[in-house]
Amino acid sequence: MNIKNLKNIDGADLSEANLNGMDLNGVDLSGADLNHAYLYRAILANANLSGADLSGADLSNADLRKADLREAVIKGADLSEADLSEADLRWANLNKADLRWVDFFGANLSDTNLSYANLSGADLTNANLSGANLSGANLTRADMNGANLTGVIINVNSEGVKHE
């Protein structure tokens, strides 16, 4: 399947697919199964990933600027050094995700599950974290200047997050 030329592949089964470096700018992947997919350095800016399953996926260094990730399941995924600036992650599940050095500038993370996620060095400047669950999350060196922290659930683990 040549995904690059498609605009709408919502609901597709792309589990374990190798999409490293692929340009998926603006593509509709809503509800898609991307479980354990390889999306290293993929361009997913403006993509619709709402309700998608990205559990265990490698999204490190991916471009997800302004992407729609509402209600996406991203548990245990590697998003280290990804750009999620101005992305919409409302109600997403990022439990135990690797979010080291992620750019969340201006992102909407309201009511998002970030429990036990590694947010070390993440840029959460001007992000909306209202109602987010940060229990057990590693926030070492995270920049939260201007972030909306209204109603955040937090119980910081002083030893950081231990990934298994």
Q: Which CATH number is 107's domain given?
A: 2.160.20.80
- State how far Cα 104 lies from the chain centre: 9
The reported pLDDT for the residue numbered 126 is 98
Q: Whole-angstrom Cα distance, residue 30 to residue 7?
A: 11
pLDDT by residue (tens digit) across 95-143?
999 999 999 999 999 999 999 999 999 999 999 999 999 999 999 999 9
- For 56, the domain range is 1-164
Q: Which of 136, 51, 122 is nearest to 89 (CA)?
A: 51
Question: Into how many domains does the chain fold?
Answer: 1
Mean pLDDT of the chain: 92
**Residue 11 reports pLDDT greater than 90:** no
**Higher pLDDT pick, 61 / 11:** 61
In the block, tokens 């909407």 appear at 108
Task: pLDDT band for 157, please (50, 70, 90 cuts).
Answer: low
The reported pLDDT for the residue numbered 160 is 47
Q: Whole-angstrom Cα distance, residue 67 to residue 90?
A: 11
**Residue 49 reports pLDDT greater than 80:** yes
Q: Which of 69, 65, 95 is nearest to 82 (CA)?
A: 65
